[in-house]
Amino acid sequence: MELFLLSIVNGLIQGGFFALFAVGLVLIFGVMGVVNFAHGELVMVGAFTIWLLHAQYGLGYIPAIMVAIILVTIIGLLMERFLFRPTRSDPLAGLICSIGVLFILQVAATLVGGDGPSKQVPPPFEGTLVLFEFLRIPYQRVFSLLISVTALGTLWFFLTRSKFGWALRAVAQDREAASLQGINSNRISIIAIGVGAALAGLAGGLVAPLTNINPHMGHNVIITAFIVTIVGGVGSLLGAVLAAVLYAMLHTFMTVYFGGTIATICGLILMVVVLIVKPSGIMGVRVSE
């Protein structure tokens, strides 16, 4: 029972983290139609920035997160301008380009951090929140959950209440029709990848103190992001958030009882099943050709 409650809470926290980068992937795919294979590496760069600035050079944790977000956003913007925009007519070309970026970022991280073992960042927030005698959550995780929820809430508000948000959703639905309405789709693409990359940088910043940081950590991130995106429905942000929380719960429980590899295998099988049974995902809408 205690393990059960603890797993639920951990699942929620993990879910918030999953949602942060999955939503970014969905945004980029929705608006630009390109699968950003380097999305996991964006998270990795965020985490590495924290390690370098906070753990090595002693910059405060919050300012380090800020720098991480800005740095990753810039990488995202460069990718849009120089890779995704010229290859817009061919989605496969965009995907291949992002694989190239993946290699380059991994090497950059290796050059910065060295070839050695995985890096660790000591948690900046010490102490534990004691809800009950058996339910103790480190403040670091509480902070991570709060920030993810705030970021996702802000994004939701931005997309549904602001003019830019409406324009962005319009481009995601129908690029041509949106252009006819006078929406500058290039600017919207920039905003989409900027927001997506910023969220990835934030996710990297939040996860840095909770995990082992190495240049190849993006691999697991991108697998998770794919599972969450497909299960949630490719175009649906709400679906992605819901699927992130559900998958995080599932993954946490499976890991506790069967181990991490089995948990990931189950996630992948779940994804294939969703692709067969309901390709539009749990929150997706069927679009006729």
Partner 1 sequence: MNKKNILTVQNVVWAAILLAALLATPHFLKFYHQDLLIYLTINVLVVCSYRLVTLTGEWSLIHAVMMGVGAYTASLLFIHFGLDMWFTLPFAGGAAALIAALLCFPLLRMTQFYFLIGSFAAGEAIRLTWIEFVGVFGGTGGLRGVEAPILWGIDFIDPIPYYYLSLFIVSVCLFILYRIENSRVGLTLHAIHWKAPLAESVGVNAWRYRALAFIVGSFFVGLAGGLKVHYLGSVSPNQMGIGFMVFILIWVIVGGYNKFYGPIIGVIVLTVFDESIRTFEVLRPAIYGAVLILSVLFLPLGLESIPGRLRSWFGVGSTPHEPPLTDQ
Q: Which residues bind partner 1 (CB under 8 A)?
A: 35, 83, 86-87, 90-93, 95-97, 99-104, 106-108, 110-111, 115, 219, 223, 226-227, 230, 234, 259, 261-262, 264-265, 268-269, 271-272, 275-276, 279
In this structure, is the dihedral angle defined by the CA atoms of residues 259, 261, 264 and 269, taken in order, positive or negative? negative
Asked if 85 and 31 count as a contact pair (C-beta separation under 8 A), the reply is: no
Question: 38 or 202: whose CB is closer to partner 1?
Answer: 38
Closest by Cα among 75, 60, 24, 15 to 207? 15
Provide, rounded to whole angstroms, the least separation between the CB of residue 236 and partner 1.
Answer: 15
Provide, rounded to whole angstroms, the least separation between the CB of residue 282 and partner 1.
Answer: 15
Provide, rounded to whole angstroms, the least separation between the CB of residue 86 and partner 1.
Answer: 6
Question: 33 or 165: whose CB is closer to partner 1?
Answer: 33
| 136-138 and 128-130 strand pairing | antiparallel
Asked if 284 and 233 count as a contact pair (C-beta separation under 8 A), the reply is: yes
Question: 104 or 135: whose CB is closer to partner 1?
Answer: 104
Tokens of 284: 């997706």
CA contacts within 13 A on the Cβ side of 96? 7
Amino acid at 135: L
Provide, rounded to whole angstroms, the least separation between the CB of residue 238 and partner 1.
Answer: 20
Question: 61 or 226: whose CB is closer to partner 1?
Answer: 226
Provide, rounded to whole angstroms, the least separation between the CB of residue 61 and partner 1.
Answer: 29
Question: Virtual CA dihedral for 93, 221, 191, 85, nearest 10 degrees?
Answer: -10
Question: 1 or 277: whose CB is closer to partner 1?
Answer: 277
Asked if 242 and 140 count as a contact pair (C-beta separation under 8 A), the reply is: no
Question: 102 or 241: whose CB is closer to partner 1?
Answer: 102
Question: 34 or 202: whose CB is closer to partner 1?
Answer: 34
d(CA 69, CA 62): 11
Provide, rounded to whole angstroms, the least separation between the CB of residue 45 and partner 1.
Answer: 14
Provide, rounded to whole angstroms, the least separation between the CB of residue 239 and partner 1.
Answer: 15
Asked if 271 and 231 count as a contact pair (C-beta separation under 8 A), the reply is: yes
Residue whose pair of structure tokens reads 């909770």 in the numeric block: 210
